[in-house]
Amino acid sequence: MTMSDDGDRTCPLCAEEMDITDQQLKPCKCGYEICVWCWHHIMDMAEKEDTEGRCPACRTRYDKDRIVKMAATCERTVVEKNVDKKQKTQKVKSKAATAATVEAKKHLASVRVIQRNLVYIIGLPANLCNESILERREYFGQYGKVLKVSLSRPTGAPSQQASTNNSISVYITYAKEEEAIRCIQAVHNFVLEGKVLRACFGTTKYCHAWLRNMTCGNPDCLYLHDVGSQEDSFTKDEIISAYTRSRVPQMASSVSQSLAGTVLPPPADDFSYSAVVAAKHTIKNGIANTANQSRLSPPNSSSGRSTLPPAASWYGAA
């Protein structure tokens, strides 16, 4: 066996590069290595001349049976190594793909997406602070099938809690988008037990497991497991109260309702899916026209219009 200038192992007889199978073959105890093809050539020539195949270096007789078994073992070893190499390559590629996917999703951790079947209501009287009560037919159950009710209770010092004027906020998850719009149309600006209610679409965030490209183990997970619509996606730092101000009154103003009462108003009889379509088709214009205004005039400015907290933080902070 010789070494070429570039470091490859070559057969001393044919001067061809020796592959893994050739390198595994050890035909003679003296250590003189040749390729499999040359060994077969030596054995074939010896058989034709009715002699014994011998090592070109030390002239020791080759043990054909031992070498044949060794060659078979070498072939199996080569196959196993190739399979192992292929599996390792696939594993490396899979890890690289996973890392690339996780990196691509990294920015989504701070993104909140408007959920059109999720309604966020603020200003509810504190005496209604009960999930089972709020999902009943006489409350939010009258607008559609309620999948989940999540209360957002006041936190902080007692003085801070008192500043909320004994009101609570709640997230209502409906089965359908039109049910959520029906709720918003009926509830927004309604005065319940002396408290003005504000209602709008809620926002949600992406599932932590999905962001890490892992399988979510929670069958009831309500977080996102797919990329949401770009027109409904906002970062937590973006102020989208302008969207809320422009969209919610438009939906609610189309419904004639009682402005005050001790129970929630019934759903509008004239509700149709056209409200859903209108809500979708005016998003881009609403965002474009009001985003700049929100930067120039903060939500709590002296414009005289009551505003909601930035929707990006309503659900994400929970």
**135 and 96 belong to one structural domain:** no
* 79 & 158 share domain: no
99 and 148 in a single domain? The answer is no
- pLDDT tens profile 8-23: 689 999 999 988 778 8
Q: How far apart are CA 155 and CA 317, in angstroms?
A: 12
116 and 183 belong to one structural domain: yes
pTM over the 0.85 mark: no
| 3-state SS, residue 182 | helix
Token pair, residue 138, equals 């006489």
Tell me the helices (H) and strands (E) count for the chain, helix number first. 11, 10
Last residue of a domain, one of 48, 75, 105: 105
| pLDDT tens-digit readout, 157-166 | 444 444 456 8
Dihedral sign computed on CA atoms, order 26, 28, 29, 34:
negative
Measured distance CA(294)–CA(302) in Å, rounded = 13
Q: Which domain holds residue 165?
A: 112-314
Query: Taking the CA of residue 84 as centre, how many other CA atoms within 13 Å lie in the half-sphere pointing to its CB?
Result: 6
Q: What is the pLDDT of residue 180?
A: 93
Same domain, 75 and 121: no
Domain C-terminal end among 73, 105, 137: 105
Q: Are residues 121 and 11 in the same domain?
A: no
CATH number of the domain to which 184 belongs: 3.30.70.330
Q: What is the pLDDT at residue 285?
A: 45
Q: Could you say which residues of the chain have pLDDT below 70? A: 1-8, 153-165, 236-258, 269-318
The tally of domains found in the chain comes to: 2
Query: Are the CB atoms for 120 and 202 separated by under 8 Å?
Result: yes
